[in-house]
Structure 1
Amino acid sequence: MTVAAKLVVVQTKRTLREPAAVFFVIAFAPLFALLMGLIFGNDPVPEFGDRGYIDANLASITAIVVAISGLVVVPTDIVTQRETGALRRFRATPLRPLTYIAADVVVRFALSMLGIAVMFVVGILAFGAHAHGSLIAVLTASALSVLTFLAVGYALAAVLPSQGVAQGVGNVLVFPLIILSGAAVPLAVLPGGVRQGAQLSPLTQLVELLQGLWMGQTWSENSLPVLVLLGVIGLATAVAATFFRWE
């Protein structure tokens, strides 16, 4: 077994031992979909264009999940490991930071996609939601979203000095971005100026991509959101690789 493979195994075991990580990475998405479905049902209503709540919003839940994970869970976890000295032992080894980050990203990516996939299963089987477009395309966009916000999470972890700061910054960022993204509150109900400003957020672009593909749009019709997310991945990865430190 290669060093990278061993590190993936170790990171998987460590992540699964963390209750918060298990909840937000795996369980939160399907539980949120189940709760919203039980509260609002999925009967067609005019507010959602004669679609049900789950039909209209299921794909958008992905954006909420990845935002919480990337802006709060990941940086807080990594900074906490640094503060407690859990990362220090790697400094004495020839292991490069990029190898550690790659293994951790693989684990978090796989577990996040598991939770998102279960969320779609819950929405489809329990509430009769259905993709008007390609479900494979929606899942591919979900994978892109996970990678984007994992990169953001590592960039934040690389530059934030402490667990308290990581939690504070994450919470300050995540709730306004979710509200302004259209994932929690339809953008149509927001003032025009706010809607225009919200377009600058990568989370808003992500919601538009997910909803567009869910409703049957093509990738070419969503080229701007894709380019924005790829740009965020590139920038955040560069920051994480440049400033990541063991202690």
Structure 2
Amino acid sequence: MLSLRLAATAALLLATTVQAHFELQYPGPIKPFDDDTEGSAPCGGYTPDLDNENAVDFHVDGDAISTYSTHPQTNWLYRMTTDPTASGNWSQVYGIIQQSGPGNYCTPQVTISHEYVGKKAILSMVASGIDGLLYQCAAVNFINGTGNAPSVCTNQSSVKGSYTNDATLTALLGSSSASSASSSASPSETPGAGVSMRADSVEGLRALVATGVMVVVGAMLMV
């Protein structure tokens, strides 16, 4: 009996590992992914120092934001700030997206106002889902032009995106005029349009493994 319960505990830990929250794929996060602290603002358990962060270029006429979520439904807020420690003054840079289905999701053409060209900023992705609010950040340099979609900018064939309203997410913005940071804070096109679709074999396997583990755990604990 004891060995069964120990095995069940180990299996439950495995399922927890398989079912992470979400990962920022592009731009690269400013800190290594830590599932345990992802619920801590502003950047998943990390307080950035903008002056000393290694930043990547982000094109103001259109660049990609790519994430991977394990949740069945996630609402996404893309926001930015030039505050040195990301402690406030957050501006919305894209319409709030509701992702239905777990897997990769990419928005290929996020645009930023040209007034930010030459400036360094913290770009934040906030997910609202079954686990509450989750945070990841990237340090970026805003430059002119349009970026090429990275290889990770793919959408799972089973993932759908649509624009939505989320008062919990908009409450995280610095002011009612925050959307001025972007020329497409309320875009009319279909979210993720034009992004290549990717087969669900790996993600489907993850979900299948996690579900199977949970079923086994439940059966073992009932013995």
Q: Which of the pair is proportionally richer in helix?
A: 1
TM-score (norm 2): 0.29
TM-score (norm 1): 0.27
Q: Which of the pair is proportionally richer in strand?
A: 2
